[in-house]
Amino acid sequence: MNGHEIERIAAALNQLRPDWPVKQLHTLMAHPSLADRPRRDVCVALTWVACESGTTNPYRVLEAGPWWRAVAVESGPTGPIKRGPLCVHCGFEEHDCKRRWATDHKYQGPDDWMRRRPNTDVAATVHALRELVVDAKAEPTTPTPRAEIRGRHESEAS
């Protein structure tokens, strides 16, 4: 969708649901899972979501729901949006991760992460965490009285 189409759809939905600000709708339609879809599909799905009585915000359209089946009526069966494994660093699918974050990190799916993660001893980790908790419960040090701090500052200033 281009900017003009997004503007028109946002204005129409704002008329249908005045509690949904136009700016919020612009932001939603710029989301990667909607931006690459045809204008008609996004408009039909958002209109469906807007008419649902239990819907409080337009972001519900990002979930799988009957609104995507309504989109498929004319264009043929598409089913729910199929998602591949997500990157453990950024949460995007592989192609989006590589496109958006190529300079930041390398894509690492959950299977890669499970194979490459360090083999840690669970008992040793639990023991180390318990020691941290015990240290946190140690007696606090006695705070320095204000008069003593004030006296130090006055002697430094002289």
pLDDT over 80 (residue 30): yes
Q: In the predicted model, what is the mean pLDDT of residues 36-61?
A: 87
Instruction: Answer yes or no: is 25 within a domain.
Output: yes
pTM: 0.46
Instruction: Answer yes or no: is 81 within a domain.
Output: no
CA–CA separation, 12 and 44 (whole Å): 12
Instruction: Answer yes or no: is 148 within a domain.
Output: no
CA–CA separation, 8 and 22 (whole Å): 10
Q: Which of 39, 59, 37 lies closest to 50, judged by CA?
A: 59
Could you read off the pLDDT of 64-104 as tens digits, one per residue?
888 887 877 665 555 555 667 888 777 778 888 888 777 78
Percent of the chain with pLDDT over 90: 10
For residue 93, the cross-strand partners are 86
For residue 25, the cross-strand partners are none
Could you read off the pLDDT of 119-146 as tens digits, one per residue?
667 677 777 777 777 665 666 667 667 7
Task: Decide: 74 and 54 in contact? Cβ < 8 Å.
Answer: no
Instruction: Answer yes or no: is 145 within a domain.
Output: no
**8 and 40: one domain?**
yes
- DSSP state for residue 93 in the 8-state scheme: B
**13 and 62: one domain?**
yes
- Which residue has better confidence, 92 or 155? 92
Instruction: Answer yes or no: is 44 within a domain.
Output: yes
Task: Decide: 47 and 25 in contact? Cβ < 8 Å.
Answer: no
Instruction: Answer yes or no: is 64 within a domain.
Output: yes
- Tell me how many domains the chain contains: 2
Instruction: Answer yes or no: is 89 within a domain.
Output: no
Give the per-residue pLDDT at 135. Answer: 60
pLDDT over 70 (residue 40): yes
Instruction: Answer yes or no: is 85 within a domain.
Output: no
Give the per-residue pLDDT at 116. Answer: 64
Alpha-carbon dihedral sign for residues 55, 59, 64, 65: positive
The pLDDT mean for the chain works out to: 78
Give the per-residue pLDDT at 23. Answer: 92
**10 and 69: one domain?**
yes
- What range does the domain containing 130 cover? 94-136
Q: Which of 41, 3, 52 lies closest to 25, judged by CA?
A: 3
